[in-house]
Structure 1
């Protein structure tokens, strides 16, 4: 199964580093389909409330437009997409910037209407209405994204609701524990399955004082606490990692996947979400995957 973004040529891009070259350009290095890449983009203006518009935590996709240029799409915290040109050569990036500046300086043709400047409330644009309860759940999905960045892409999630529908729950397990992409994980007596409930808030897995930890720090702590799960989840599954990156964009905007662990649900249109339309189902299990417990 392929998704629209894949058919349009986009691929998940995992950012490793963002370096300021000068006051005009960033150098981005990262990985796409297990290939290391580096390129240059025009420096982004920092938002006063969100200093790291572009970092290792960013959800990014890359589209190859020629041998020397790409399109880089980054999903900002409030669900707002940002797409910029990226260049393999710094000289090409500088030339493109000069051309843009020259174009902006050209006077409008006679009779041509001048574009209106519409003020945007950027504080609202970057701030979906999220509660502390939501933010703890978001951090759990962000942690999963970080696990994938660290090379544990075979770790999958199963999001569902408690029987009372009062609490959102999340289970982590390696792909080998799933009979199908949409079923709860099974097997190994629970040793390969970790679980979270929103009732725990900022105390997942019995941890304390994690509210100020980054998703990367949480991922490292997860690996230490669940070493067997981590070992079984180590390896590449780029289609699933890309799917989870897209899901995280929805979750960061307050849309949580809602499945029930007891009883069948309708999945013909995708994952039911806490609000809005459904989200595409996860990719198939790896070809070598078996359904044995």
Structure 2
């Protein structure tokens, strides 16, 4: 049976965001979601002011060369360096520190399991106070009283 690397490769995208935070791009916000079918996971990166964004799930798909049966061999650091190079104008808008968010984000990553992806919303649902995961788990958001998708 061939292994599918869809979820592991997308988890690399999430860990790459953490690496970008560590490199001084603390105003980068991650917005994961589900497609209407619930089959595909989507993720966008946006700046703190929500004026600039990149559909990062499309970017990671490009790294796979459309072959979900191949693991992306680049390290998290290599992916972060490539993302900066290919999205320099966007990532420059994310410079700065947001210790509260980056600490929460790192804690969120520690809660997801090996074959699990978080999502803030789907086209037909939006929860307040937590993100769900593809395994049905819940992760508390940074500000549970807010209902916006960033939960910041």
Question: Where do 5+ consecutive residues of structure 2 fail to align?
Answer: 66-70, 145-152
Shift of residue 212, structure 1, vs aligned partner: 1.3
- 1:154 pairs with 2:24: no
The 8 Å contact of residues 155 and 173 in structure 1, kept in 2 or not, is answered as yes
Q: Distance in 2 between matches of 1:136 and 1:208?
A: 8
Q: Corresponding residue for 1:272?
A: 132
Q: Which has the higher contact order (CA 8 A, sep 6+)?
A: 2
CA–CA distance in structure 1, aligned partners of residues 11 and 83 of structure 2: 16
Task: Identify which of 81, 94, 100 aligns with 1:220.
Answer: 81
When Rg is computed on C-alpha atoms for both structures, the one with the higher figure is 1
Kindly tell me: are residues 135 and 275 of structure 1, through their superposed partners in 2, closer, same or farther at Cα, counting changes over 3 Å? same
Query: Is 1:171 paired with 2:32?
Result: no
Is 2:12 the partner of 1:139? yes
User: For the Cα contact (< 8 Å) 2:120–2:127, is it kept in 1?
Assistant: no
The structure richer in helix per residue is: 2
Shift of 1:261: 4.8
TM-score (norm 2): 0.77
CA distance in 2, matches of 1:252, 1:223: 27
Per the normalisation by structure 1, the TM-score is 0.42
**In the TM superposition, what is the alpha-carbon distance from 1:207 to its structure 2 partner?**
3.4
SS at match of 1:176: coil
Say whether 1:282 aligns with 2:138: no
- Structure 1 residue runs of 5 or longer lacking an equivalent are 1-129, 178-186, 285-293
Q: 1 or 2, which has the higher strand percentage?
A: 1
Asked whether the equivalents of residues 8 and 114 of structure 2 are also in contact (C-alpha less than 8 Å), the reply is: no
- Classify 1:159/1:208 alpha carbon distance in 2 versus 1 (closer, same or farther; 3 Å): closer
SS in structure 2 at match of 1:172: strand
Paired position in structure 1 for 2:55: 195
What is the alpha-carbon distance in structure 2 between the residues aligned to residue 131 and residue 250 of structure 1?
Answer: 22
Residue 207 (1) aligns with residue 63 (2): yes
CA-based RMSD: 2.5
Kindly tell me: are residues 131 and 239 of structure 1, through their superposed partners in 2, closer, same or farther at Cα, counting changes over 3 Å? farther
Deviation at 1:208, TM superposition (A): 5.5
